[in-house]
Amino acid sequence: MNIATLQKHISFLTDARGRKVAVQFDLRNRQMQELFEDLMDTLTVIERQDEPTRAFDEVKKEIFSPV
């Protein structure tokens, strides 16, 4: 996706003084949906970056072990 396409599907909301206060993504466009999903995934990664990690084998055992 190029910059022109992005600009076509993004709108800014402004206050009475003309300052940008919010953004709208046109999610009818599939590329914009994907971009927004990527943004949300990135925010989740940033939010969780300080969480402790676990070994994949440990998680796999937990998921697949009989109760």
pLDDT grade for 67, boundaries at 50, 70 and 90:
confident
Distance, CA of 65 to CA of 57 (rounded, Å): 12
Neighbours of 36 (CB within 10 A): 14
Structure-block tokens of residue 53: 């990690």
Spans of all domains in the chain:
3-64
pLDDT at 6: 82
The CA-based angle 8-14-15, given to 5 degrees, is 170
pLDDT at 1: 72
Query: Is the entire prediction scored with pTM above 0.85?
Result: no
H or E stretch covering 23: strand 20-25
Residue carrying structure tokens 């969780």: 48
The 10s digit of each residue's pLDDT in 2-51 is: 888 888 999 999 999 999 999 999 999 999 999 999 999 999 999 999 99
